Structure 1
Amino acid sequence: MKAIVSIENLASQLVTTFWTPVFVGIFIAIVAYALWPRNKTGFDAAARMPLRED
């Protein structure tokens, strides 16, 4: 059977081989930033912001 090379196959391979690991890395960086102990005070202040009465 002859393999058919098309734009869809090429795009699918590009997404699978390149962009998936990139987005996984970005996701891990965001989670690490959110859970980093140094950022706790800022996130706690932002969480209380809707409850403040100015």
Structure 2
Amino acid sequence: METYTAMRHFADSWGLLAMAIFFVAAAIFAFRPGSRKSADDAARIPFKED
């Protein structure tokens, strides 16, 4: 039971912080100024063979 309590405490504090940092980093990566061309190219991939 002690392991469960320790893991739950970790998930409630540091795990949440790690997920929040990952989310912010992913959002910054997706909305950076130079990513628009890459996103547009990736969006057109399914239609290249048509």
Query: What TM-score do the two structures reach when normalised by structure 2?
Result: 0.84
Mark the runs of 5 or more structure 1 residues left unpaired by the alignment.
Answer: none
Residue in structure 1 matching 2:5, options 5, 9, 32: 9
Structure 1 residue 37, shift from structure 2 partner: 1.9
Matched, 1:51 2:32: no
Moved over 6 A (4+): none
Structure 1 residue 53, shift from structure 2 partner: 1.6
Structure of higher CA gyration radius:
1
Tell me the matched-pair count.
Answer: 50
Q: What is the percentage of aligned positions where both structures have the same residue?
A: 22
Mark the runs of 5 or more structure 2 residues left unpaired by the alignment.
Answer: none
